[in-house]
Structures are given as structure tokens and as C-alpha cells.
């Protein structure tokens, strides 16, 4: 695969980075990423992934734009209220990078359709606001051996982690949260509130981690959870220990 003159110009600031270069940019251009949710986290993540030259983006979101989304979901404007998020997202990303291959699925992701909706991408980025859905996505990615970048926000906090739970000594998302809770009884941003800019921090960081996995720059981040506290403000990173009894990855470990 050779880069065209337009691509050399468009992605010049990537290519000049020795950690990425032309080969890393080619990996980005050849990659397919599935993004769960086009909301607060998905909106900035999708913009940075599209701008970075990710070749194909599949986006899953069955929601419509509402007025209370606009405080943090920066892909949308007032005129978009009432429209489907997938339609608006496709239009916005096409303006940003017309070479992007975009596929939008306005469907609700469930355990029954997760494999069909996610497909066979190089990476999944999960920015949904539903805890039960995050577990469904994590379990599928572990089974299918698809790298997962998972991001969540609430109030003044953001959490971003990369998971490769099928690998020896690397945890899945379920290793972090465990099983001793009711996934359907977890508060969302509508109940807890969230500072709008936290969505930008989480989405941008998630896009960074997705590009790290694909282009292969820097240190491997799988198994680390980055926690940003907007009140202090500070960021800390913890290493998640793989749970050998985990119902998501305990029996999936391989090479």
C-alpha cells in the first residue's frame, strides 16, 4: 500500500513522528474499528479516529439526538434534535474525512446480536452509557479475540482502559468490575450528572489508545486503567490483575 500525495499531506503530522511514520499511518488507513455509542465519549473519539485516517468505522447507536445531549455530545447541534444519531454522525464524519468508509447501525446491541453488529474489526471502542451493554461487549471481544478500548464517565471522573482478556496474564473488563453486582441497577449520566468536558477527555484518550493498539507506538497499555479526576485535578493509572476465575476470560486464556 502506497500513500497518495493527498494522504502524505493530510497525515503529515503523523508521518513525521518517528513512532508512527509512514508504516504506522498505513496501518491506521487499513484498519477497521467498531465504535459502540455515538454520544458523549463516542463523539470526540469518532472525530479523532476519522481525522487520523482510520479506514473504516462501524458505529452502533439506536438513539436520537435530544436537547440535553448537546452539553457534551459535540457532533450534534440544535438543528439535529430529534434526528437519529447515526445519520448525523455519518454526515459529520464525511465532512471531516471524505475518504472514510462509514457504516452506521441504528440498532440496540444485545447478547443475541452482538457478534453480528460488531463484525470482525481490528478493534472495538466502547463508549456506551449502559453497564450491561459494556459487559456484553467485553465478553464478546474476549471470545472473538478483538482488542477492546473501554471508556466511561460520570460526574467529574473518566476511566479509560485497554483489554485483551484472551492473552495470558492480561485481564478483561469483567476482571475489573467483577460479577457481584446488578448490571441493570447502575446509575447513568442522566442520574448522576456529568461535566461536559469530561466526555472530551475520555473520548480523546480512548481514540489515543485505539490508535496505539493499531499503529503500535509507545508502551503497550493493555491491562492498565487510566482514571482522571476533574475535581483535583489529577490522573492516575492502575494495573488490573487478571482474575483466573473470571467468567469472561478465565477459560479463554491463550497466546
Active site residues: 189
Cα 229-44-67 angle, rounded to 5 deg: 90
Q: How far apart are CA 251 and CA 20, in angstroms?
A: 35
Q: How far apart are CA 54 and CA 66, in angstroms?
A: 28
Q: Strands, E, within the chain: which ranges?
A: 32-36, 56-60, 101-105, 123-126, 148-154, 157-163, 224-229, 234-239
- Check: CB of residue 168 under 8 Å from CB of residue 255: yes
Q: How far apart are CA 138 and CA 147, in angstroms?
A: 9
CA nearest 207: which of 135, 153, 127, 139?
A: 127
The CA distances from residue 66 to 70, 119, 133, in Å, are 7, 28, 21
Query: φ, ψ for residue 166 (rounded to 5)?
Result: -80, -15
Amino acid at each position: 500500500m502506497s500513500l497518495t500525495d493527498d494522504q502524505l499531506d493530510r497525515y503529515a503530522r503523523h508521518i513525521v513522528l518517528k513512532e508512527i511514520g509512514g508504516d504506522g499511518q498505513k496501518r491506521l488507513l487499513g484498519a477497521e474499528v467498531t465504535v459502540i455509542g455515538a454520544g458523549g465519549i463516542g463523539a470526540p473519539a469518532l472525530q479523532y479516529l476519522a481525522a487520523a485516517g482510520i479506514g473504516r468505522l462501524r458505529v452502533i447507536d439506536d438513539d436520537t439526538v435530544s436537547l440535553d445531549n448537546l452539553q457534551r455530545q459535540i457532533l450534534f447541534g440544535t438543528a439535529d434534535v430529534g434526528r437519529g444519531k447515526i445519520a448525523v454522525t455519518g454526515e459529520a464524519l464525511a465532512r471531516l474525512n471524505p475518504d472514510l468508509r462509514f457504516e452506521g447501525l441504528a440498532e440496540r446491541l444485545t447478547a443475541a446480536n452482538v457478534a453480528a453488529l460488531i463484525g470482525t474489526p481490528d478493534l472495538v471502542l466502547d463508549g456506551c452509557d449502559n453497564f450491561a451493554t459494556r459487559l456484553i461487549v467485553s465478553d464478546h471481544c474476549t471470545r472473538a479475540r478483538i482488542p477492546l478500548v473501554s471508556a466511561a464517565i460520570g460526574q467529574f471522573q473518566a476511566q479509560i482502559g485497554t483489554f485483551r482478556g484472551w492473552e495470558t496474564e492480561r485481564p478483561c473488563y469483567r476482571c475489573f468490575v467483577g460479577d457481584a453486582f446488578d448490571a441493570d441497577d447502575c446509575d447513568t449520566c442522566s442520574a448522576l450528572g456529568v461535566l461536559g468536558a469530561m466526555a472530551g477527555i475520555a473520548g480523546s484518550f480512548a481514540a489515543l489508545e485505539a490508535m496505539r493498539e493499531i499503529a503500535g507506538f509507545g508502551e503497550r497499555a493493555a491491562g492498565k486503567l487510566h482514571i482522571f479526576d476533574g475535581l483535583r485535578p489529577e490522573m492516575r493509572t492502575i494495573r488490573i490483575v487478571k482474575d483466573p476465575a473470571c467468567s469472561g476470560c478465565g477459560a479463554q486464556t491463550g497466546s
